Amino acid sequence: MRKQKSFYRIGEVSRILGVKPYVIRYWEQEFGLNPERKSGTHRRYTLEDIKKLELIKNLLYEKGYTIAGAKKNIKSLSAEQIDYRALIKEIFKILCEIKHILKER
């Protein structure tokens, strides 16, 4: 089994996504991505960075969004993220209240 890498260089990310390195650099600039840099020069992309770039590619190339439209879509996706821990705690609290009510009957 092949070990998963922690960081990828821009050439590797380019091959994974099927786009030229200059396109990735442009998306970084437009979408405010900031991959870690080794020694201040070489970009080091994480799997999370690659997933963000895949989302951008999908919105632009597959769904036909403009840059502005893709930015708006990504912003709305970020706003919709749910805090699942808080949700589970709230559900647990409600279930405990229901259990307490049922015991009293």
pLDDT digits (tens, 9 = 90+) for 11-20: 999 999 999 9
- Would you say the pTM of this structure is higher than 0.85? no
d(CA 103, CA 91): 18
> For 57-80, how does the pLDDT look when each residue is reduced to its tens digit (9 = 90+)?
999 999 999 999 999 988 887 766
pLDDT at 87: 75
Tally of CB atoms within 10 A around 19? 18
Which band of pLDDT confidence, cut at 50, 70 and 90, is reported for residue 2?
very low
pLDDT at 105: 74
Mean pLDDT of the chain: 88
- 10-104 sits in which CATH class? mainly alpha
Average pLDDT over residues 45-56: 93
Average pLDDT over residues 21-41: 91
d(CA 5, CA 7): 6
**What is the per-residue burial (b if ≥16 Cβ within 10 Å, else e) of 40-66?**
eeebbbeeebbebbeebbebbeeeebe
Comparing C-alpha atoms, which of 68, 41, 70, 76 is closest to residue 54? Answer: 70
